[in-house]
Amino acid sequence: MDFLMSGLAACGACVFTNPLEVVKTRMQLQGELQAPGTYQRHYRNVFHAFITIGKVDGLAALQKGLAPALLYQFLMNGIRLGTYGLAEAGGYLHTVEGTHSPARSAAAGAMAGIMGAYLGSPIYMVKTHLQAQAASEIAVGHQYKHQGMFQALTEIGQKHGLVGLWRGALGGLPRVIVGSSTQLCTFSSTKDLLSQWEIFPPESWKLALVAAMVSGIAVVLAMAPFDVACTRLYNQPTDAQGKGLMYRGILDALLQTARTEGIFGMYKGIGASYFRLGPHTILSLFFWDQLRSLYYTYTK
């Protein structure tokens, strides 16, 4: 039940934040490995990107990749939050004295994130491909021509086998390790601290909401460079054997981006990341906390 509630909470958040994921993906691919000022900026900022995509690709394009996004969120966060919830319920995140341990929380969040992200990696790759697809006049990054999630998975599997479906999976793990450990550690620590200060009544929904808001800020700052590199790893063109033609791995992607685009290149789309990750973190953790609270209330 913990896994089911976690997956449903993440899907609920994804419905609202997927348009921001589309914007984030395109802004991260814009000007890929090109020096600042040498390329046309189709998307000047988050709001301009929304207007441009809606005008050129149509409003429906803002929900591109929704099917794989929902499936990925259910798989990844169902496993991640479910596993973390079991560790929390088992008392593994507290010291002998009964206080919350940030180190144990971060470690549990990282391990839970690794399991979920690796299993869901093929879905995340297809989601990235679909969200990057655009009309030629506003296209950025490599353009795949997928017709949908199942067609994309079938085509990649037939061409490159299971190895091709999990291309970029290892490179995507640092993003998840940093993001998951930061998110769950700061959420649990903030919630525990607020409970000690007795700012809100016990079990109040405001407690989870404030903790999630703090967690969202921390996640964006920590994860942005890895998120940019991960998007580019998944979206790069491949040769006949399914090997990436632009990057050898996550470290190579980070180094090439920093070398050609500068330090700010590693934070491309951070505005969209915040507008997406902030609400997604808040909504998913809030839904997760409330679903668990309702479940345990009515099953006691």
Residue 190, SS3? helix
Query: What is the average per-residue pLDDT within 141-150?
Result: 96
A 10 A CB-CB count for 170 gives 13
Amino acid type, 80 = R
pLDDT at 139: 97
Mean pLDDT value across residues 132-161? 96
- Whole-model pTM above 0.75? yes
Is pLDDT above 80 for 280? Answer: no
pLDDT digits (tens, 9 = 90+) for 169-209: 988 889 888 887 888 788 888 888 888 888 888 777 788 77
- Domain hosting 70: range is 1-299
Residues 41-90 have pLDDT tens digits of 999 999 999 999 999 999 999 999 999 999 998 888 778 777 877 888 88
Q: Check pLDDT > 90 for residue 7.
A: no
Name 244's bridge partners: 238
Which of 191, 25, 222 is closest to 113 using CA atoms?
A: 222
CB 6 within 8 A of CB 85: yes
Average pLDDT, the chain: 88
Over the stretch 237-267, which tens digit does the pLDDT of each residue have?
999 888 899 999 999 999 999 999 999 999 9
Percent of the chain with pLDDT over 70: 99
Number of domains in the chain: 1
pLDDT band for position 300 (cuts 50, 70, 90): low
Instruction: Read off the tokens for 280.
Output: 């997604």
Please report, rounded to a whole number, the percentage of residues in the chain having pLDDT higher than 90.
Answer: 48
CATH of the domain at 220: 1.50.40.10
CA end-to-end span of the chain: 14
